[in-house]
A and B are shown apart, each in its own frame.
Chain A
Amino acid sequence: MAEDLANLFTAGNMKFLLRGVEMTLLLTLIGGVTGLIGGFVLAYARSSKGRLLAPVRWCATVFVEFFRRIPFLVTLFLVLYTVQMVLPRAPLFWVAVISICLLCSAYMAEIVRAGMESVPTPQIETAEVMNMPRWRITWMIVLPQAWKVILPSAVSYMVMFVKDTALASQAGVFELMFAGKALVNRGLDPLLVFATVLLAYFAISWPLARFGRWLEARLADRRLEGGVR
């Protein structure tokens, strides 16, 4: 046991695991940021009006429903084989990034939509009657009120999502889980390795979860200072 511990906790192995942590954090961050942007675009498209834009609404709805319904692992392999068909030498990291962006955008779209719908419709109707265009209503009236609902949910989704990034290891993408598996393959004690990996995941997601709670409490009674510029 003592020997196993000594074998695992070498500077080289720790650096290796830390690089895994780095990649996991990077994937989570990319997912969060592109997810929020993509989610907003999808939610905005879904809430569009008029017969002309019906195909846009329809596409956005299909996208969101599709990627929310299938397991992430399936999305991952779908992307992996599609990408490899087109660009056989594409780095696996980009496969993970693409899959994550697809998944996060679809989930965030629902979070953004719920946030935008939390703004009372009469305020929006009032702005419509004043001839304010829809993008301006969204930008100046809806989003400044919706973000307090959106951000905490988005963070708590990211807390869940950190764990999903582990699936990327299945496609051969290097991140924390993959680093753990690689160490086991080098003959290190699996129980010790994965216990360490577990602690690392916990160390990432627990502070993030606390941050989400703090954010929620903090935003509840704050407004976005700004105004008409």
Chain B
Amino acid sequence: MGLVGPSGSGKSTLLRALVGLAPPSAGQVVLEGKIVDYAKKDSLRALRDHVAIVFQQYNLFQNMTVLDNIIVTPIKVRGRARAEAEAEARALLSRVGLSGKESAYPDQLSGGQQQRVAIARALALKPALILLDEVTAALDPELVRDVLDVIRDLAGEGITMLLVSHEMGFIREAAHRVVMMDAGRVVEVGPPQQIFDTPTEDRTRAFMSKIIRH
């Protein structure tokens, strides 16, 4: 699922609110048939066990190796066995094309590599939903592709993702559904063809024409 809209329309804020980093002002999130109560620790904890988020700035733990970044939560929070978590982490690293980087520290990696580690770290949590917040916006153009390739593969494997991005071409190709946001509200939801080619809302149309023009 892709989430698009002009800058400042609240896309990132929506993702932050979804994981309880920003206070939601209205609306409901339903998880496995239950309404999430963001004010309650247990409820928020249950939500966070199912949702992972990847940020624009990767946010890897700078004091830990790539491998430790990935296994720390499975081992320390989820109580998984170390050997098992490590084997999974290695498999995930090879999946994002970073085998052999296990003992590197984040500052020894390029932005694109760090972002792929961050995606592997999110996958290690086996989330029901992965939120991706402008994950390619901070990258040099030649590195964007590597990250998008990984996301495309994941989408192909049926992993549910909510992707905020300005990579319109990518969203059009990879997303099944696209949400258009403006001024803090959802304007239109539909398949990519509808949103990009035949939008029903004026604001979507205006936004798309601006993008195409430039």
Binding site for B on A (CB under 8 A): 120, 122-123, 125-132, 136, 140-141, 144-145, 223-224, 226-228
Contacts and interface: CB of A to CB of B under 8 A. Distances in A.
B45 interface: yes
Closest 4 CB pairs of A and B: A144-B63, A126-B59, A130-B73, A122-B59
A129 B48 contact: yes
Contacts of B65: 227
Among B21, B48, B73, B75, the one with the most A-chain Cβ atoms within 10 Å of its Cβ is B73
Given A128-B21, A223-B105, A228-B68, A136 B76 contact: yes
Contact of B59 (A125, A140, A223): A125
Given A140-B72, A228-B68, A130 B125 contact: yes
B64 A227 contact: yes
B76 A132 contact: yes
Interface in B100-141: 105, 125
Contact of B62 (A123, A128, A131, A227): A123
Interface stretch (B49-57, B90-98, B181-189, B197-205): B49-57
**Main SS class of interface, B:** loop
Contacts of B21: 125, 128-129
B49 A131 contact: yes
A125 B52 CA distance: 12
B164 interface: no
A36 to B, nearest CB: 19
B55 A122 contact: yes
Given A123-B62, A144-B63, 8 more contacts: A123-B61, A127-B61, A129-B53, A131-B77, A140-B72, A140-B76, A141-B63, A227-B64
B21 to A, nearest CB: 6
Interface of B: 19-21, 45, 48-49, 51-53, 55, 57, 59-65, 68, 71-73, 75-77, 105, 125
A183 B72 CA distance: 61
A130 B20 CA distance: 11
A228 B71 contact: yes
A82 B88 CA distance: 61
Contact of B45 (A131, A141, A227, A228): A131
A50 B51 CA distance: 23
B204 to A, nearest CB: 30
Nearest to A140: B72
Contacts of B72: 132, 140, 228
A126 B55 contact: yes
Nearest to A226: B63
Among A131, A144, A226, A227, the one with the most B-chain Cβ atoms within 10 Å of its Cβ is A131
Contacts of A140: 61, 64, 72, 76
A159 B64 CA distance: 32
A83 to B, nearest CB: 42
Contacts of B55: 122, 126
Contacts of A125: 21, 59
Among A120, A130, A136, A144, the one with the most B-chain Cβ atoms within 10 Å of its Cβ is A130
15 contacts: A122-B55, A126-B53, A126-B61, A129-B20, A129-B52, A131-B48, A132-B77, A136-B76, A140-B64, A140-B72, A223-B105, A224-B63, A226-B63, A227-B65, A228-B75
Among A129, A131, A144, the one with the most B-chain Cβ atoms within 10 Å of its Cβ is A129
Contacts of A226: 63
Nearest to A224: B63
Contacts of A141: 61, 63-64
A131 B63 contact: no
A131 B74 CA distance: 11
A122 B75 CA distance: 21
A136 B35 CA distance: 28
Contacts of B49: 131
A228 B76 contact: yes
A162 B72 CA distance: 41
A51 to B, nearest CB: 11
